[in-house]
Each structure stands twice: as structure tokens, then as C-alpha cells.
Amino acid sequence: MWETEFTKNNIASMGKTEDKYPYIHRDVSWLYFNHRVLQEAKDPSVPLLNRVQFLAIFSSNLDEFFKVRVGQMRNLIRVGKKTKRELGFDPKETLKQINATVNKYQEEFSRIFTDEIVPALRKEKIYILRRTDLNKDQLKFIENYFHSKLLPYIHPILLLKDKVRPFLNNASLYLAIMMKDKERPTGPNYYAIVNIPSAETPRFVVLPSRGKRKEIILLDDIVRQSVSWMFPGFDIIDSYSIKLTRDAELYIDDEFSGDLIQKIRESLAKRNVGPASRLVYDRSAPKQLLNFLMKILNLEKIDLLPEGRYHNNFDFFKFPDFGRDDLKYKPLPPLPYEPLENAPNIFDEIKAGDHLINLPYNSYESVIRLFEEAAKDPNVTHIKIIQYRTSKKSRIQQALMQAAKAGKQVTAFIEVKARFDEKNNLEWGEKLEKAGVQVLYSFPGVKVHSKVALFRRLEEDGPKLYAYFSTGNFHEKTAQIYSDFGLFTADERLTKEAAGVFYFLENVKSPPHKFKHLLVGQFNLRSGIEKLIQYEVQQAKQGKKAKITIKCNSLQDPEAIKLLYKASQAGVKVKMIIRGICCLVPGLPGISDNISGISIIDRFLEHSRVFRFHHGGDDLIYLSSADLMYRNLSARVETAFPIYDPELKKEIKDYLAIQWSDNIKARLLDDKDSSTYKKTDSDLPIRAQIETYYYYKRKNERIVKAGLAHRKKAKP
């Protein structure tokens, strides 16, 4: 019934021949997600400068995708050891589809930028000029700019097919130039490459302008204007932008022996010299030039990917805003979490009952205060934390070092295999070690992705444990833009098992007590989630109410998907709120009739993972660091933590209801990348992230009115 190739609706089969299920390849589904990001750049209701930012996000996402995922796909093709049957898909066919889909999206990107963004900027008197648009003063300005700012970084190379084969740096910008020898104008074409030093100088250069006009030129066009000066013996025919993306995967996840930290350091050094995964080129470039580049760079046709005139469009993150705050989202200042931020003693407040924050709607200050107060509190003896990603400037890290210097026992487990954060994590590890923190690093074969901190405090009735569990990293920057939950608790059921997580990380063996409340990767995470789904199936088969709500970044794990299909067929009502990859196809007759799904892309990145099970009316709710992906369920240390407090459970249920009611930014999930916006019967526009912000603002007002906020003590 279901196709084994991506020939109909991009659906592949999953499972044995007699037991097939529809399954969208994860990379294809990821491209659908990134297309939803591109939709935000197209949406005229999004403020103009934020639309420019979404162009940057789309491009940044795609660049990482090619560095990692397409690099892996090309290696599967090169090695040729894995057969189509063993993989469950044909790498060549999948890569062709990826390239075709990306090409389609890049053409849409160019249309959005050229036909919508640029004219909209002009209406606001912001102009992106090309060199042919410049007046005499501006031409003189860019000539001086080139010689004073760019020249030290420029490296022109005349290409000779059999003698000079240039090495292109990973993701760096270049101009490929076609030329004629001035003395032999009817002779053969000559070719050259010139780098565009965007890593050393700003990509967008503000030009001298008149009146209220703000005029910009891209660095690329300044270099184009100067090409003739670099090759005085040649007539320039034309120049075309190119960029080579190299495979950036470290290939260390499955190594089980040796010095892992040293291997990572060596791999980082090699990241920029990995094999090519694509050559991006200006789609107006002639075939003659492309054929020459393929030969000299040792590329194949499948490696080529056309784009517009400019590449590395993630540089739009640094697009000048000229102080035009009116062209950006209206600020939504993080709301203080009054009970903890202004409590006389944060530990006393946590001991009195669990507390839940929802970032970035709530401020991150309560988390920072927990660490800073623990560092100063003479009764705190131990602090333990798991670091997956962290900011380069971090008050939490400073508090850990301060605590260690004060004589407290501080342990930090640092996952150095966090992709593209390896260098930052290693640097922080060295700083923490110098301050006296006991630093534990990754162990081979498994990534540690839990987000947990544990505090031991001496109190009148003996030592007391406090814990902080989160769906997101201890990262003060992303806490301002990522939507994540954080739980502060002194509940012994949870703190004791949090200690068990650290026991495993420190001793690399099972803790003395089994996990009964937490679901922990490598122990009971997969089996626990499967049992909860199976319970709903049993309830449905008995004619009882059975419901599941899943909110996560990605749904890819084949076994979890198969189980959800079976749940749907048994009559379980399943709601999915999946931001990114979704390999499950909802709404298929006889297979997934009872499953519906949406994806929300908006100003904040939806990052929290929530699993809600009706469970015969008990309403079990887990918040998690883990997505429903094979790697999370089987190859990582993750932590899913239950919410026991009735008020906090209600808060999460309210939050999920708001998400599901979104009729502005929610898209329906399907297998066709229709990216259709969800419509409801309501005439009231509901935008989940804005509704959530005001939900917490009303909650704050109730807290203050009830006199629960301790406002006398100033913030630390």
C-alpha cells in the first residue's frame, strides 16, 4: 500500500512487509520545517526587520543541515556498504529529492528577498545598492574602503586546471571570475577565485547617504568592483559568487575507547577541512564555469546547488537596523517570577512547594539567583550541574566558580559532543577546573542531554536536597528566545532520583535505587513512555476515554511512531504539537484518523517537551529534555520529570490548550509540505505565544494581589 521510495507524497514504508506504516524521511521532514521558517519571512504581518531575521534563520538552519545531514548522506553514497534494504531508503534518491526541494526553497527565498523584502525596505527609505547604483562619492568611498579595510584579507588566485587547485575554506564566500587575456581577446577563457573576507569585516557596509535615505552595499559587491584592479592583464567578463560547504560531523558518537577529549580536539581542528557536501553557486553562472569548477574542486554534479546572487544569508542576523525599533516586534519584557526572585530565602520558598517557570515569558533571574544564592549560602555544601550548552558569558558559571573557591563541593558534567558548541564547552571546562570545580566530561558512545542541577543544604532537621529540572539548557542567552519549562523542587521523590542521575554520571554505573518517578535515558525513558502509550491503548480498547498530547521539537523514532499509529487505530485521541521533524503522518484513513498535528513557528523558538496522558483521569504530565527521536530515547542520557503539584499541572494544561487554539502561527502537519495555516471556527485571532505571555502576566498580577510576592528585598 505504501511506497518504498519517495515517489508519492514523500512517504516511505516502515516495518516489515506484512506490517507497513507510513513514515516520512527525517531529512525531508526537516526541510518542511525550514520552509515554515521561510514562511515567516514572507508573512507581511511580521515586522519588516524581523522578516529579515527569519531569512537569516532559514539560511543558518540550511547551512548546518548541509554540513551535517547531507555530509552524512554523501558518505553513505560514497561508502556504498549500506544497501537500500538495510537503510530503509535509497541515499541517492533521497539526496536528489533533498537537492530538488532545497533548490525550490532557494528560488522562493530569492523571490521573497527581491520582490518583497527589498521593496518594503525601500518604502522605509532603506536601500540595498549594487555597484552600478552608486554615485561618484559612493564609488570613491568603496574604493577607499577596499584599500584601507579589505586589501590585507584579499587573496586572488588565478586557476590553472593542472597546476593550481585551490582549497576553499568551509562556508567561506568567494567570487569565481571569468576573464580574457587582454593580448588574446579571442583566446580561451581564464578563471580566478577571490575570497570575500566576511569573517574579518562587516558583510553590510553603510554608504554615505543624503537626506533621510539609508543606503547599504554588500561586501560582495565592493570586492566585485575591485576585481579588475587585482588582475590587470585581463578583461573581466563577469564574476559569480560561490561557497563550498564541508562535512562538519565529528563521527565520534560511536567510539567506546580512548581519550575522547583529545579525539574531539583533533576532530575540531579537522572540521573545516572535511569533504565537500555541496558547492553553492549563483544560478546565473554559465555551465562552462561550473564544469571548470567541478573539475578543479573534484566535485560531481550532485554536489552543485544553485542559489541567488548572494550566499551565507545567515549574515542577515547582522543587518543594520538604523535604530528602527518600529520595524521590529514590540518588546515582551520577561515577567519576573515573583515568588522566587523576591523571596527572602529562595531555598525556603522551594521547600514550601514546587515552582514552575515558563521561559522566555518568565525571567531567567530565578534560576540565576538559585545558583548565586547557593554559592554564598554557608549551609549549601554541594552543587551539581549538567552542562550541554551554555552562554559564553554566564553568571551561572561564575557562581559555580565562586562556590568552589568558597570550599563547596561543585561538580559539573560537561557534554563536549554538543554539536558546534564543543569548543565553548571545552573552554568553560578548563576555567571551571582552574577554579576548583570537579569537571567530568562526556563518555564515549552516549551523549548526556539532561538538564538537571542538584543542591545539598544543611538544615535543622538534617541535610536537604533541592533540584532544578528543565527542558532547556543552562544558557542565559537562549533563555530569552527559547520556550522552555523549568521546575524548582524539594520533593524527595524527585531530588533523590536526581541524585541517582549524578551517581550514574560520576560512577558510570547504575545508581543503588531504580528510577520510579523520573524517566531517564539509558534506564527507563523509552520503556516508560511506551508503557504510558500502551496504557491509553488498553483504555481505548475497553471503551474508556483515552487521550495523549505530545509537544516536542521532533518526532522521528520508528518504534514510538508505530505505537502511536496503533494507539490511533485503537481509538486513542492524539494531539501533536511538533515544531520541527515529524516523520509520522497524521489523519490517514484507517491508520492515523485519530491523530492530528500542528507546528508553531513564531518569534520565540518552541523548545519545551511536554507529554500528557489521560491515564484514566489521573492526567499524568511529564516535562522532558528528550524529543521522541531514536537518539534521545536510545543513545542519550535524558530526563523526563513528572509534575505532581495540581496547580502546576493545571498551568501546563492551560498552556497546551492555548497552543492548540492557535489560528495565526500554527500550521497543519502533513506529508506534502502544504504548510497550511490552521484555521478554527473562532472569529477571535489567537496567537499562542502572545496569549501565553498575557496568561503569565495575569498570573503575576494575581500573585501580587494575593500578597505572595516578597518585594521588600531587592534583587541580587
**Residue range(s) occupied by CATH 3.30.1840.10 in the chain:** 43-327
Q: Helices (DSSP H) in 385-445: which residue ranges?
A: 395-405, 422-434
Secondary structure (3-state) at 199: coil
Secondary structure (3-state) at 587: coil
pLDDT score of 268 more than 60: no
Active site residue 311: no
pLDDT score of 164 more than 70: no
Query: Among 128-142, 148-162, 199-213, 594-608, which stretch is predicted with the lowest mean pLDDT?
Result: 148-162
Give yes or no for a contact between 18 and 1, defined as CB atoms under 8 angstroms apart: no
- For residue 340, the cross-strand partners are none
Q: Give the Cα-Cα-Cα angle 542, 547, 550 (nearest 5 degrees).
A: 145
Q: Given pLDDT bands bounded at 50, 70 and 90, which one contains residue 251?
A: very low
How far, rounded to the nearest angstrom, does the alpha carbon of residue 239 sit from its chain's CA centroid? 34
Q: Given pLDDT bands bounded at 50, 70 and 90, which one contains residue 2?
A: very low
Q: Given pLDDT bands bounded at 50, 70 and 90, which one contains residue 706?
A: confident
**Residue range(s) occupied by CATH 3.30.870.10 in the chain:** 338-513, 525-680
- CA distances 108 to 38, 119, 129, 323, Å, are 9, 16, 21, 29
Q: Which position has the higher pLDDT, 98 or 655?
A: 655
Mean pLDDT of 310-326: 94
pLDDT digits (tens, 9 = 90+) for 454-478: 999 999 999 999 999 999 999 999 9
Cell of 117: 523584502
What pLDDT score does 617 carry?
A: 95
Q: Given pLDDT bands bounded at 50, 70 and 90, which one contains residue 568?
A: very high
The CA-based diameter of the chain, rounded to the nearest angstrom, is 94
Q: How many Å apart are CA 411 and CA 432, to the nearest integer?
A: 9
What pLDDT score does 5 carry?
A: 33
From the candidates 25, 35, 355, 449, give the one annotated as an active-site residue: 449
- CA distances 140 to 137, 177, 204, 208, 231, Å, are 5, 23, 17, 10, 20
Q: How many CA atoms lie within 13 A of 265 on its CB side?
A: 7
Output the CA torsion sign for 218, 221, 225, 231.
positive
Q: Give the Cα-Cα-Cα angle 365, 371, 377 (nearest 5 degrees).
A: 120
**Which amino acid is it at 109?**
F
pLDDT score of 265 more than 90: no
pLDDT score of 401 more than 90: yes
**CATH C-level class of 525-680:** alpha beta
pLDDT digits (tens, 9 = 90+) for 378-400: 999 999 999 988 888 999 999 99
Cell of 209: 547617504
Work out the percent of the chain whose per-residue pLDDT is above 70.
Answer: 89
What pLDDT score does 716 carry?
A: 32
Q: Given pLDDT bands bounded at 50, 70 and 90, which one contains residue 168?
A: confident
**Burial state string for 386-396 with b = 16 or more CB within 10 A and e = fewer than 16:** bbbbbbeebbb
Q: Given pLDDT bands bounded at 50, 70 and 90, which one contains residue 261?
A: low
- CA distances 578 to 10, 12, 311, 627, 651, Å, are 18, 20, 29, 10, 20
Comparing CA positions, the residue from 489, 504, 596 lying closest to residue 550 is 596
Q: Given pLDDT bands bounded at 50, 70 and 90, which one contains residue 711?
A: very low
Rounded to the nearest integer, the mean pLDDT of the chain is 89
Work out the percent of the chain whose per-residue pLDDT is above 90.
Answer: 71
Q: Given pLDDT bands bounded at 50, 70 and 90, which one contains residue 446?
A: confident
What pLDDT score does 302 carry?
A: 79
pLDDT score of 258 more than 80: no
pLDDT score of 236 more than 80: yes
Q: Given pLDDT bands bounded at 50, 70 and 90, which one contains residue 17?
A: very low
Mean pLDDT of 581-597: 96
Comparing CA positions, the residue from 472, 547, 467 lying closest to residue 502 is 467
**CATH C-level class of 43-327:** alpha beta
Mean pLDDT of 36-49: 97
What's the CATH fold of domain 338-513? Endonuclease; Chain A (3.30.870)
What pLDDT score does 535 carry?
A: 98
